[in-house]
């Protein structure tokens, strides 16, 4: 099993890179796990309290559960990945079954901040994008897909997202084996990753 970690700031284009990487692979051989599914359970808090949580801090992630799930997959066992609701800022109580595959891709803004999970990655990738571009993408996604209003998105960007990116996410570039700029010149980097994966699968 090949485990690949793909990190980068919010709105950097991680999902696009994941799609590019698996485009030429047999989907039956690849499973994608999102860090967003592993936000800590906040059922004990009211919605008003959950809204105030700093979701861009490493302490907001249940890394213990994510690590145990990756170990289970490596052992050949399936896992039950939590389902997370961005509108409710909490897990829904439902799960999605993930079967062990030849390639496991773990993507999320904070996945390279944890040394234990970093050690589990065979390939570590950081997706880089201009901060203005990331903000624009975040605005569009949160308003259109997650039911947020403009004021809330901008408030989060100013109070948590930007400072957390500078403190925790940007520094994880140093742990990356490959840094991919999400612009029209990223094809070579993606091709390299695809080649490595295909080589490991043979």
Listed in order, strand segments (DSSP E) in the chain are 2-8, 30-34, 79-85, 90-98, 103-107, 123-128, 178-181
> Is-contact 128 12, C-beta < 8 A?
yes
Given a cut of 70, is residue 183 above it in pLDDT? Answer: no
Given a cut of 70, is residue 93 above it in pLDDT? Answer: yes
Mean pLDDT of 153-167: 80
Domains defined along the chain, listed by start: 2-196 (3.40.50.300)
**Average predicted confidence (pLDDT) for the chain:** 86
Mean pLDDT of 160-164: 81
Given a cut of 80, is residue 4 above it in pLDDT? Answer: yes
Q: Which residue has the higher pLDDT, 145 or 50?
A: 50
What per-residue confidence (pLDDT) applies to 27?
A: 66
Q: What distance in Å separates the CA atoms of residue 129 and residue 131, rounded to the nearest whole number?
A: 6
Q: What pTM value is reported for the model?
A: 0.85
Mean pLDDT of 84-97: 88
Give me the DSSP letters along 109-144: TTTTS-HHHHTT-SEEEEEE--HHHHHHHHHHHHHH
Chain segment 26-69, per-residue pLDDT in tens: 666 889 999 999 999 888 988 888 878 888 899 999 999 999 99
Given a cut of 90, is residue 82 above it in pLDDT? Answer: yes
Given a cut of 70, is residue 185 above it in pLDDT? Answer: no
Given a cut of 90, is residue 146 above it in pLDDT? Answer: no
Given a cut of 80, is residue 108 above it in pLDDT? Answer: yes
What per-residue confidence (pLDDT) applies to 90?
A: 85
What per-residue confidence (pLDDT) applies to 186?
A: 65
User: Which residues face 79 on adjacent strands?
Assistant: 98
- The angle, 0 to 180 degrees and rounded to 10, between the axes of the packed helices 14-22 and 187-201 is 50
Taking residue 132's Cβ as centre, other Cβ atoms within 10 Å add up to 8
């Amino acid at each position: 099993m090949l485990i690949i970690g793909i990190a980068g700031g919010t709105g950097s284009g991680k999902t696009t890179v994941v799609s590019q990487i698996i485009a030429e692979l047999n989907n039956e051989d690849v499973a994608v796990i999102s860090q967003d599914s592993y936000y800590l359970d906040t059922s004990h808090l009211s919605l008003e309290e959950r809204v105030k949580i700093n979701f861009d801090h490493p302490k907001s992630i249940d890394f213990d559960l994510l690590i145990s799930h990756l170990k289970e997959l490596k052992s050949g066992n399936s896992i039950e990945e939590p389902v997370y609701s961005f509108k409710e800022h909490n897990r829904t109580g439902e799960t999605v079954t993930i079967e062990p595959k030849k390639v496991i891709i773990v993507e999320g803004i904070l996945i390279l901040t944890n040394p234990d999970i970093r050690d589990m990655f065979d390939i570590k990738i950081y997706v880089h994008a201009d901060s203005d571009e990331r903000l624009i993408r975040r605005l569009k996604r949160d308003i259109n897909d997650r039911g947020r209003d403009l004021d809330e998105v901008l408030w989060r960007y100013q109070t948590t997202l930007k400072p957390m990116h500078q403190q925790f996410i940007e520094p994880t570039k140093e742990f990356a084996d490959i840094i991919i700029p999400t612009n029209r010149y990223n094809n070579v980097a993606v091709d390299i990753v695809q080649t490595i994966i295909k080589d490991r699968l043979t």
